Structure 1
Amino acid sequence: MLDLGWSELLLIGIVALIVVGPKDLPMMFRTLGKFTARLRSMARDFTRAMEDAADEAGVKDVARDLKNATNPRAMGAEALKKATDFDDFDPFGEDDEVADEASARPAPRGPQTQKMTEEREDAARKIRESAAARATARLDAEAAARASETVSDAGAEPPAASDSSKT
């Protein structure tokens, strides 16, 4: 209110009683009450009119959308979901179903997204090539090791062959 305590109200009442007089004091308070009620009614009407104008202009819808868009909980969950979406990532090309699903999807929307998709595909291709090269090198090394074992065994005389030639 106006931060008036009981002592201030009592002082105002005594001054009003002296100035206005005991006969006209109830009529003055009644008039003051009606005036206050009329002011409050006008303030309520003004508030309602402003709210109605805001509703017609769509301000509440925009405010609600803005509030939802800036909700940190929703933003964090959505960003985490997007960051951990590895369903279609296949670096070795072993799963053809995932590749078929990826080709059935619509093309990425923006140039930045297209660039990121191309970079992911390039990285997957390099990984596949590197894995294939390592596998080929390992197989070649194993074959060379087997061949060297065979050559070293062929250089030594087999004991069964030398025994049969002496008899």
Structure 2
Amino acid sequence: MFDLGWSELLLIGIVALIVVGPKDLPVMFRTLGRFTGKARAMARDFQRAMNEAADEAGVKDVASDLKNATSAKKLGLDKLQDAASQFEKWQPGDAAAATEGEAKPAPRGPETAKMTEERAEQARLIRERSAQVASDRIAREKAAQEAAAAASADAGQAAPAAEGAAPTDTPDAGTKPADKTT
């Protein structure tokens, strides 16, 4: 109820010693002890009276009924928990692990084996085709990069040659045609 530590109790004792005095201090503590004892006795009587009233009203019966009604066994939760633990331990295709009450794996017949082989073949073909498509794409990208590199190299060599040479089919704008006078 009260959260008093040793330091608080020591402070209260010192204050009581100063206020009450050393002569009357034992009488005060005795009176305080009797009062505390009577308060505790009244609290115990009240608690006992409340418990008796609850017993007469049938609260314990209702509480036990509620507890039984919500038990895991009554609700079937124990079976659910068992099933969950069996599922966690289950290994697919392990017929030896199947016990009574568990679902047994379907037997593998010739049709199942045939379907398994077909699916494996389809998966292999898909992997091969995917690898082929990827290698074709890589080859196309490499060829495009080489063509771009060659084009940039050709453009770099053609530009200096064009700067130094004059066109031969067009006359210079700064010269006049020669006169033919003889």
TM-score (norm: length of structure 2): 0.41
Tell me which protein shows more helix as a share of its residues: 1
Larger radius of gyration: 2
The TM-score normalised by the length of structure 1 is 0.44
